Structure 1
Amino acid sequence: MSAILSADDLNDFISPGVACIKPIETLPAERSTDSSNPYEVTTEDKAAASQPRAPAQISLTDCLACSGCVTSAEAVLVSLQSHNEVLTTLDAHPPLSLPWLEHDGTNGYSNGITHTSNGTTNGVNDYHTAEGRLFVASVSPQTRASLAAVFSVSEAEAGNMIAQLLGGPSGLRGGGLHGSDFTWVVDTNVLREACLVAAAEEVSQALTPSARTPTTGSEGALDTTPKQPILTSACPGWICYAEKTHPYILPHLSRLKSPQALTGTLIKSVLCQRFNIAPSQIWHVAIMPCFDKKLEASRSELTSSAWLPDHDLSQGSVRDVDCVITARELLHMAAARNIPFSSLPRTPIPSSQRTPFPDPRLDAFLFPPSRRKNQNPVAGPSGGYLYHILQTCQAQNPGSEISVSRGRNADVMEYSLVRGSETIIKMARFYGFRNIQNLVRRLKPSKISRLPGAKSGASRRPGASGAAGNEGAKDYAYVEVMACPGGCTNGGGQVKVQEVEDVRAAEGTHAVNGDAVISKPGPKEQKEWLARVDEAYFSGSDEESLDGDGDQVMTDNDGPTTNGHAKEDDIVNGISRSYIGDVLSHWSDLTGVDAQRLLYTSYRKVESDVGKKKQSDVERVAGLASSLGGGW
C-alpha cells in the first residue's frame, strides 16, 4: 500500500459501503487439526490462544467485481500500484537489450536470440529473455501541471524533469540492482488527440437517424452505438459509480477508451508485434492525476485479451497498463532513490540518447518535435472532449456560434451551438459527484403507474420539470462527466496546498517567487492553489530552444499537429482529423487488429450478493443440472 494513500484521502464525496464481502469470500476454509473431544466446550482462554487468522487481502480487481461499495479508489486501501511497486519491479528485472532483431517468422531470430534446431537458445541472452523487461511510461498533462505549480516551472519543463527522472542519466538508472529505467516516456496528450477525433466521430454516428439503438442485454457492449445523451467514459471513478449503482446509464456511455488505456494498448500491441516479445515482458506505468486510474488499469476489458489472437493467450491476459502512480507518488519514488526532483534538468533528454520507437510513422506520431499547448480554459481542464466535439460540429455548420452559460454552480456548464435563433445542438459539462447525482436522476427511466386509469407519464420527482428535468437532460447530445470538482487538475493524487511547503522543504527549495507560507491552509487557499495548477495547465512557452545536440526541444506550439499531411479545412482546434485517421489505420494494419478492438471497450452491470440470501449447495447443484438439461 502506498504510504500516502490513507483514510485521510476519503474526499470523493461518496460514502464507502458498510459491507465488503470479498476478503471474507477469498479466505481459505480453516481446516481443523484438533483431535480433542468435539463436544468439549471451548473457553475464552483457549480461544485467545488459538492460531489467529491470516489478514484478509483485497485487490483492485476484487473491488471491480463487487458493488458492495461505490467509493472511488481513494477509499480502497490496497497493496498494489504504488511507487514502491514501480521500484520493486525495476529492481526485479533487467532492461531488455537493444537493438533487437525484428522477427519475420523465417530468419530464426527473436530479440537477438538465435534458435537452434532443438528449440533451445544459444545461451548468450537467456537471462534477458526470461527475466528482462521493456519499461515504458506515460505521463498526463495534469500531473505535469501539478508539479509545475509546486516548483514554479512551466508545464513543458515539468515534463522534461519527469522524463529525466524516468529515463535520464541522472534519474532512476543510477540506482537499483540492474540500473533499469524507462526506454520511452510518452505524453498522453498525443493519444488524447486521437481520442478527441474518435469521440467526435462517435457522436456524429450516434446522432444519425440510422444509428442502431442498443438492445436489451447489449447495453455497454463494444459493438453498440451509445444513445443520446452520450456520456464521457474517460473518468474511471464515474464509470465505476455508473456500473455499480445506475446500470440504466450504460447505454449512454461512450465506448471510447481513455487516453491512458489507449496509450497502453498502442504501446503493448505494437512492441509485442515489432519485437516478437510477450506482452508480459512490456511493463507500462502511467502517471495520472487521480487514484481512480488505478481502478481503470485493473479492468479485465483493458488487457491483451482484447487485441491478441486467441492462440497467443496461452500464458493468460496481461493488463495494458501494469501500474498507475500519481504526482505525489512520483515525488515519493524520487525520494526513495535519493533523487532531488527539483534538481533534475529542465531540458529534454538529447535526441542522440533517445531510442527510436520501432515504427518510424508511430515514432513521429508519439514523439513529435514540438507539441501544442493544452486547450484554452473554456475547454476545461479534463482534456476538452466536449469542446472539441462542439468545434467539430461548428466546422460542419458554417455561420454558427458557440454559446456558453453557467448552471447552478461553476461545475455545471451548458454549451449550445446556435445560428441566429436556431439551436443546432446542446451539450453540457457536469463535474463532481454532487452534480453527477443530479444528472443520473434526470436520466432515470420514468416509472409507469400500474393502477387502472393512471397516466402513463413520468412519475413525479423533485426537479422533474422544465429544462432542469428529465427531458432537459435528454436534450443534450453529449455530456462531459468528471468525478472530481474542478476537473482532472483537482484529482486526488495531485499535490494539495497543505503539502506544498513540505514538498519544497524536502527538496530544499521552500517558498518560490514570493509565495507566502501558509501554516493552516483552508478551502480558500486550496481554491487559489487549484487556480495556479490550472494556470500551469493552460499556459505554456512559445519559445523554441535547442538542446545540447542542436535539436529542437519539446516546447509548446499552437500549430496543427499534422506533420505536413493535412489540409487546412481538415483541421479542428489544431488537430488534423485525416492525419489522426491515417495513423490509426496504420496502427491497425501493423498489428492486424481491427481498429474497433483497439479504440473501444465495453461496460457491464456489476451486481453484488451483499444483503442477499446465499444459495445452498443443493440449490446450486440443482440449478446447474437444470441449466444443462437435467434435473431431479
Structure 2
Amino acid sequence: MSAILSADDLNDFISPGVACIKPVETLPTAPPTQPSNETEVILDGQHPAAPQSNAPAEISLTDCLACSGCVTSAEAVLVSLQSHAEVLSLLDSAPALKVAGPDATGNYAVEGLENPDAKLFVASVSPQSRASLAAACGGKSEKQAGHMLEQLLSGPTGLPSGGKFNNGFTWVFDTNVAREASLVLGADEVLETSKPGVAAPSKPILAASCPGWVCYAEKTHPHVLPNLSKVKSPQALMGTLLKTVLSRKLGIPPSRIWHLAVMPCFDKKLEASREELTDEVWEGSGEPGRGVRDVDCVITSKEILMLAQSRDTDFFTLPPTSVQAATREGFPDGKLRDFLFPRRTAGNTPESAGSSGGLLYHILQTKAAQLPGSSIQMNRGRNTDVVEYTITVNGETVFKAARYYGFRNIQNLVRRLKPAKPSRMPGGKPFGSARRPTGKSSSLEYGYVEVMACPGGCTNGGGQIKVEDPIVVERKNLSEKPGPQAQKEWLAEVDEAYFSSDETDAAGGHDAGDVIGGVSRAYIHDTLAHWADATGISLDKLAYTSYREVISDVGKDTTDTEKVVQLAGKIGGGW
C-alpha cells in the first residue's frame, strides 16, 4: 500500500472493481510527500488518467478474498504486518522463555521472566499446509512434511541453529485435534444439543470457519449473520486453548506467550486480527476488544519456504522425523497434553468429506447415526462446488444440507437467503429473493451449509504453494510456464497428500459405538469440560465466538490507523 494514502482513506472499503497489485513482497517505500492527500483508484479495464501530482494508491492483496470487495485498506495494512519477517523479528528480540518441570510436587517453572521482552514461542500447523509442502517436496507424505515443519520451527538444524538468540518454538501442535473439537461442537450446534448458555444460530446454519466468507458476510450481507455458526474455527480454538491453559498453568500473562499459526490461506491473517478472538473475551470484559490475540501471527504454506530461506535453511533437506518427543512432557496439563499430542495419528477426513476439515461430513454422519435405517444421498449442483445432501428414513427426507464453495456460488446462496421485502401495496404479497426459485430446492430448507471461499476447498487456499511458483517449476523441471491444466494436476497432488493420512487406532481406545468418523464425541466433550474446569473459564467464552455488521468509518478519528501505516512503512509486509 502506498504511503500516499491518507489516514482518512484507510477504513474505506476496497470495492470489487479496484485493481489489486499482486504479488508484492513488502510495502513500497513512501514517495516524497505531496501537498495534497488526494488519491486515484484505477478500476479494472480502465486506463490511468494523465499524470497528476500524486501517484495512484496501490493496494496489494495477493490472492486474498479482498478482491470481492469486503476488506478495508486498514485491514490490508494490518494483515501485511503478519509475515515471516515478523516471526524472525520476534525470535531475535530476546532469549525465549523456557518451561522447566514438573518437579517432585508436579509444579512447573518458567525461566527467563526477568527479561520483559522474552516470550514463550508455540506454533500450530494445519493439515492443508502440510499437504501443500508434501506435494512441493515430492514423494513425501503429509505426516513427513509435518515432521519437517517441526524440524524447521524447533529442531537443531532449523530456526534454533541461527538468529541472535538461537530461539525456536517450544511446542509445535497439529490443528487436527482442534478440528476434531470443532467437529463435535458444530454437530451439537446443528443438531440442537449445544451447551446451555449458547444461543443456537438461525436455520440454515452456515459454516463460519472460513474467514474470507465471514468477512464477506459481515461487510456485504449482514442479513446472514444470525445464521453463522458460533463455534470457533480450529485455528481460533487452538489459539484460545494454548493462551488460556499456558497462562493459567504457568502463571504468566498471555502477552508472554507468542502463538504462530501456519495456514493455507491469507484470510486466516484477518481472522487472527479479530477483536472477538482476544483475551478481552475470556479474561477481560467478556466483550470483543483490543486485547492480546489468541493467535499472534499467521503465515502461509508459501511463507514457510520464505522463512526457511531467510535463515539459510533448505526446507527440502530437513529430516522427516519428529523432534517433539523430548518436549511433550513439559506441557503443564497431563489430560490436555494427551489431547494435543495423541498417541494415534489424527486423520484428516475421507475423500468424500472434502478438503476443508469435514464438518458437513461429520454432521451428516452424526445425524445418520441417530436414525436407525437412515441413508445419505448426494446430489451434485450446477458445478462441482455445489453439492446437496439428504438423509432419508424409509424414503422420507428428514435432514438436508449442502456445500457451497467459491464466491460465485456463495453469492447465489446469500441471495436466496435474503429476506423478502414487504409489499408497499395494501394487501400485497412480500417480494424478493426469499421466495423459493421455481424448480429449485430452497436454501431455507437446509439444516446446515458448509461455505468456503476457495473453489475446491482449503487445499486450494490463496497461501498454498502453486504450480507456477519458482520452487515447483525448478523441482519439476518444467520447461514452460504452467497453464490451468498443470495447476489442476498440481492441486490433485496436494489433495492426494491431504487424504493419504496413515491413521491408526481411529477410535483412540474409546467405545467404537461412540466414534463418528474416527472422532470420539464423548472423549471430546470430556476434554472440553476439563479445559473449562482447569482454567476456570466457561465453555461459552472458550469455544464460541460472535459476529457483527461492519460499516465503513470514513471521516472518523483515525489516529490509530495512521500509526499502523507508519509502522507498516518502516518494517515492510508479508504480501
Q: 2: CA distance between counterparts of 1:71 and 1:410?
A: 27
Residues 112 and 395 of structure 1, relative CA distance in 2, 3 Å threshold: closer
Alpha-carbon displacement from aligned partner over 1:244-297 (angstroms, at most 9, x marks no partner): 000000110000100000000000000000111111110001000010000000
Q: Does 1:93 align with 2:94?
A: yes
Question: For 1:122-521, what aligned pairs fall within 5 Å after superposition?
Answer: 125=112, 127-128=114-115, 130-152=116-138, 153-205=140-192, 223-310=198-285, 317-349=291-323, 351-352=325-326, 354-454=328-428, 456-459=429-432, 464-468=437-441, 472-499=442-469, 501-503=470-472, 505=474, 510-511=475-476, 517=478, 519-521=480-482
- Aligned 8 A contact 1:140 1:189 in 2: yes
Q: Sort the Cα spacing of 1:56 and 1:413 in 2 relative to 1 into closer, same or farther, 3 A.
A: closer
- Conserved 8 A contact 1:138-1:187: yes
Q: How many equivalent pairs are there?
A: 511
Aligned with residue 533 of structure 1, among 479, 491, 494: 494
CA deviation profile, 1:493-521 (whole Å, cap 9, x unmatched): 0001111x53574xxxx23xxxx625121
Change (3 A) 1:318 1:74: closer
> Which is greater in Rg?
1
Consecutive unaligned residues of structure 1, counting only runs of 5 or more, are 2-12, 20-29, 32-46, 114-124, 213-221, 542-555, 617-632
Measure, in 2, the Cα distance between the counterparts of 1:466 and 1:69.
Answer: 31
Distance (whole Å) between structure 1 residues aligned to residue 452 and residue 232 of structure 2: 15
Deviations 1:62-118 (A, max 9, x none): x99x9994159999365400001101110012111331689x9xxxx99458xxxxx
**Secondary structure of the corresponding residue to residue 465 of structure 2:** coil
For 1:313-355, what per-residue CA distance to the aligned partner results, in whole angstroms no more than 9, with x for missing partners? 9x97200000000011000000010100011010111623545
**How far is the alpha carbon of 1:373 from its aligned partner?**
2.5
- Residues in 1 aligned to 2:248 and 2:75: alpha-carbon distance in whole angstroms: 38
1:193-224 deviation digits (Å, cap 9, x = unpaired): 00000000011117x9xx99xxxxxxxxx943
Q: Which amino acid aligns with 1:83?
A: H
Give 3-state SS (helix, strand or coil) of 1:557's partner: coil
Aligned-partner SS, 1:414: strand
- Give runs of ≥4 in structure 1 deviating > 6 Å: 55-60, 72-75, 460-463
Instruction: Supply the distance in 2 between the matched residues of 1:385 and 1:345 (Cα, whole angstroms).
Output: 33
Deviations 1:548-603 (A, max 9, x none): xxxxxxxx325223xx3x32221111111110001000000000000111000000
| 1:590 maps to 2:498 | no
- Structure 2 vs 1, CA of residues 56 and 174 (structure 1 numbering), >3 Å: closer, same or farther? farther
Amino acid at match of 1:203: V
Letter of the 2:438 partner, please give it: S
How far apart in 1 are the matches of 2:491 and 2:74?
A: 19
User: What is the aligned partner in structure 1 of residue 504 from structure 2?
Assistant: 557
Q: Distance between the aligned counterparts of 2:72 and 2:530, measured in 1? A: 36
| CA displacement at 1:420 relative to structure 2 | 2.7
Cα separation, partners in 2 of 1:479 and 1:252, compared to 1, 3 Å: same
- Give the % identical residues: 52
Change (3 A) 1:353 1:279: closer
Cα pair distance change 1:57/1:460, threshold 3 Å:
closer
Alpha carbons of 1:95 and 1:461: their partners in 2 closer, same or farther (altered >3 Å)? closer
| SS of residue paired to 1:137 | strand
Which residue of structure 2 aligns with residue 577 of structure 1?
A: 521
Quote the offset at 1:356 in angstroms. 2.7
Q: 1:285 to 1:502 in 2, by over 3 A?
A: same
Select which of 483, 500, 510 maps to 1:522.
Answer: 483
Q: Report the CA distance between 1:536 and its aligned residue.
A: 0.7
RMSD: 3.7
Contact 1:72 1:292 in 2 (8 A): no
Within 1, Cα distance between the matches of 2:73 and 2:302? Answer: 15
Q: C-alpha displacement at 1:528, in angstroms?
A: 1.1
Aligned to 2:11: none
User: 1:14 Cα shift?
Assistant: 8.3
Equivalent residues of 1:94, 1:180 under 8 A apart: yes
| Counterpart-to-counterpart distance in 2, 1:407 and 1:588 | 42
Change (3 A) 1:191 1:74: farther
Deviations 1:442-498 (A, max 9, x none): 0000112111342x2433799832324xxx100000000000000000000000111
Could you say what secondary structure the match of 1:415 adopts? strand
Q: Which amino acid aligns with 1:317?
A: G
Distance 1:573 1:524, change over 3 A: same
Measured after TM superposition, the shift of residue 533 of structure 1 is 0.7
CA–CA distance in structure 2, aligned partners of residues 602 and 527 of structure 1: 36
Please report how far the alpha carbon of residue 357 of structure 1 lies from its aligned counterpart in structure 2 after TM superposition.
1.2
Distance 1:96 1:89 in 2: 12
Q: Distance in 2 between matches of 1:252 and 1:595?
A: 21
The AA in structure 2 aligned to 1:320 is D
Give the counterpart letter for 2:261 in structure 1: A
**Local SS of the residue matching 1:244:** helix
Code of the residue aligned with 1:491 in structure 2: it is: G
* C-alpha separation in 2, matches of 1:278 and 1:330: 28
Task: Give SS of 1:521's match.
Answer: coil
Contact conserved, 1:15 with 1:71, CA < 8 A, in 2? no
Contact 1:18/1:69 (<8 A) preserved: no
Kept in 2: contact 1:439–1:473 (CA 8 A): yes
SS of the residue 1:265 aligns to: helix
Matching residue's letter, 1:137: A
Change (3 A) 1:205 1:460: closer
CA contact (8 A) 2:16 2:68 kept: no
Q: C-alpha separation between the residues in 1 aligned to 2:102 and 2:90?
A: 25
Q: Which has the higher contact order (CA 8 A, sep 6+)?
A: 2
Q: How much has 1:412 moved relative to structure 2?
A: 0.3
Contact 1:67 1:244 in 2 (8 A): no
Q: SS of 1:465's equivalent?
A: coil
Unaligned ranges ≥5, structure 2 = 2-13, 21-33, 36-51, 558-575
- Equivalent position amino acid for 1:166 in 2: L
**Gap change, CA 1:308 and 1:75, over 3 Å in 2:** closer
**Are residues 170 and 14 of structure 1, via their aligned partners in 2, closer, same or farther at CA, if it must alter by over 3 Å?**
farther
8 Å CA contact 1:417–1:426 kept in 2: the answer is yes
Tell me how far apart the structure 2 counterparts of residues 415 and 582 of structure 1 sit (CA, whole Å). Answer: 30
Cα 1:557/1:16, change in 2 over 3 Å: farther
